[in-house]
A and B are shown apart, each in its own frame.
Chain A
């Protein structure tokens, strides 16, 4: 289309059209290769020349030995793939293209013109599916990173300009501009995109990735414009202001402050993990409530799946089950291997278990307990289909049900993997699950509740730990099936349970109601009684989440009753 449009221009208009045509070519699927001249087109006027070259970046690799951190003194030079390249003259962009898989670009520009080459930290493809737009910006300035050449004159003959984004490492620290960082981040995104598109030609919604040399793991202060971001994370779904009163744009925020001790731009598993959250949220569905987590945690089932998915997705993108995350500047790292039991928690509440199951579903290797090698296609299909539409909350249970629906012939092998992680629930709601995570109060995974069936006592407890709101035992989940549209009242009252020794009344119950993961209603007022009155619900399955806002870690069960009435 773009080329046909270009042919229709008269010769006298060609110079004006050149800029437009170049833009159109890049914007209509030209991504993935250097701009070329259509054989059907007349050759460009002799007053144009070609500037071509290769764009590369320095990748700093991990030391071969575990815990050895990154090796910044031995970077390798890799192609910057699929990034936007522009020729800029004065205040105008006079030609644009994207690099191909080798990092090569080629631009047709006017001869005898002063200009420079600008490589944006942006992967962009518009037009025909699949499309994408990934950018790396500095969250402290709002600026898009770009690698720029020196200014030169295009002259009268074709020329070559190779541009390298250097790491900026000067022996013991980053003493120069860290130009490689944004392109290293994009390179991991490129690999993730390739994995997705190897399985499905889907459009990927725009995503901004925010990195700055100032981004620090700050505690007690969250101001993205100052670089106080807390950790590397994916943020979506809200317009909440930060501690400085500024909005927090959606995207992936990445640590970069070397002097404070943690940088992640070269930690590919970390970036791919966060990209996995983006994929889960945009192509599938995530009911995760977020929060701090690790392989040694017993987590809320929604969080366990989302984080285990992130870990496994990172392994799939990089075809490497060993997750490594550098710290102490870049001098050390910790790791875990999805192919091995690390000693972390095992069960439906464990990101470790979820990650190991997903990796074994994907990988081609088989070992004891792993007789399956699905590759990525069925996994992505399960995420896009059954996991997205499940009536249950998103968890390992709902995912495995979705996967069994995709590849029913593999159900036995899937269940074998599941059993190996001490998980026995047979459907999306974990029916038949026997693993209570060491506390009988956590069983069953979902309780059933029916209209007008009277008060049902239950208790919550998180026996130990910190940041308990996203941990196993904090919330209790109820499944409500409505055969027809109903007007429903849900009342929860904090009261000690005579059947639970040592229990006390919950101090401040709160209630949320979800339909396919979407919050439909909630109530979070202070006090021992919480009531959602006369809510109109259509037929279907609803999940009711109840917790005690004032719950603290400890051995004492906090108990409540739930009563659901309606017509």
Chain B
């Protein structure tokens, strides 16, 4: 299946693997795209309306960050009490001269090995690989934090990546959590109350 590039770009920017907005239907017959509210209104040139048309207008514009991408691979499925090797590839973008990273764990997992890799004189688009080990202390959903700082000219920018991992069988718990309806207060509003400091 071919996926619409226009729909994919913002999602890819968010490091997504969305594959649901295929456009290998006949887009020519689905060409008229409803103009969004802020767009100048023009007479539609084509009909009928493409049911995926709004996807083609979906755009996600993220904050500025370092021109670097990462890919990762767990050598084995993470299990409680069993160390697993994790390989990361840092892929710098154009203009990046050097990069460094800081790999961090969180409560429930422990990372070890080289946790501050550095790469100098990097070439854009080339993968720079690094390996560390991870030990899960309990079951659950965790993240490995990878903070990458890139250098170009006299400037530096950074980007943080959170690598998700699930240890143990947490699927049922996740599904249950996702489907829960918002909690409403006595007035019927979906409110998350936070206590104030009062004087």
Contact = CB atoms under 8 A, between A and B. Distances in A.
**Pair from one complex:** yes
Interface of A: 88, 90-93, 117-120, 138, 141-150, 161-166, 177, 179, 205, 216-223, 225-226, 228-244, 246, 257, 259-262, 264, 270, 273-274, 277, 281-286, 288-298, 306-307, 310-311, 323, 325, 327-328, 332, 334, 336, 342-345, 351, 388-389, 463-467, 469-471, 508, 510, 512, 515-526, 532-533, 535-538, 547, 549, 553-554
A345 B96 CA distance: 11
16 contacts: A143-B182, A144-B192, A163-B197, A240-B18, A274-B61, A290-B59, A295-B64, A296-B94, A310-B64, A464-B125, A466-B68, A469-B12, A515-B42, A515-B45, A523-B27, A535-B45
A237 B192 contact: no
> Among the interface residues B14, B31, B58, B70, which one has the most CB atoms of the partner chain A within 10 A?
B14
Contact of B157 (A146, A236, A290, A295): A295
Contacts of A119: 196
A343 B194 contact: no
Contact of B95 (A219, A241, A261, A345): A345
Contacts of B42: 515-516, 518, 520, 538
A94 B161 CA distance: 46
A100 to B, nearest CB: 18
B46 A239 contact: no
Nearest to A355: B64
A388 B4 CA distance: 25
B194 A524 contact: no
B61 A138 contact: no
Given A230-B16, A296-B95, A525-B2, A520 B192 contact: no
Given A261-B104, A292-B12, A518-B33, 17 more contacts: A141-B183, A141-B192, A145-B194, A148-B195, A150-B198, A165-B196, A217-B162, A219-B72, A231-B14, A286-B59, A294-B67, A327-B158, A336-B157, A345-B95, A466-B67, A510-B5, A521-B46
B102 interface: yes
Contacts of B18: 222, 240, 242-243
A93 B187 CA distance: 7
In order of increasing CB-CB distance, the 7 nearest A-B pairs are: A343-B153, A238-B58, A230-B14, A464-B124, A290-B10, A521-B31, A296-B95
Given A163-B197, A288-B61, A239 B55 contact: yes
A508 B12 CA distance: 19
Contacts of A471: 94
Interface in B148-199: 149-150, 152-164, 174, 177-178, 181-183, 186-199
A289 B53 CA distance: 15
Given A148-B194, A343-B152, A218 B60 contact: no
Contacts of B39: 285, 516-518
A343 B32 contact: no
B37 A205 contact: yes
Contacts of B44: 520
A289 B6 contact: yes
B13 interface: yes
Given A230-B16, A327-B158, A553 B152 contact: no
Interface residues of B, number: 107
Contact of A146 (B2, B58, B192, B198): B192
A512 B26 CA distance: 14
Given A236-B59, A288-B59, A524-B5, A327 B147 contact: yes
Contact of B2 (A144, A294, A345, A526): A526
Interface of B: 2, 4-18, 20-21, 23-24, 26-28, 31-33, 35-40, 42-46, 53-70, 72, 91-96, 102, 104, 106-107, 123-125, 143, 145, 147, 149-150, 152-164, 174, 177-178, 181-183, 186-199
A92 B187 CA distance: 6
A93 B191 CA distance: 13
B32 to A, nearest CB: 7
Contacts of A262: 147, 160
Contact of A470 (B9, B14, B124, B152): B9
Contacts of A298: 94-95
Nearest to B199: A162
Nearest to B107: A259
Given A232-B63, A344-B153, A465-B93, A148 B196 contact: yes
A55 B42 CA distance: 46
B7 to A, nearest CB: 7
Nearest to B15: A219
Contacts of B36: 236-237, 281
B72 to A, nearest CB: 8
B3 to A, nearest CB: 9
A524 B15 CA distance: 22
A65 B17 CA distance: 39
Contacts of A525: 2, 24, 26-27
A523 B30 CA distance: 9
B198 A291 contact: no
Contacts of A145: 191-192, 194
Contacts of B38: 281-285, 388
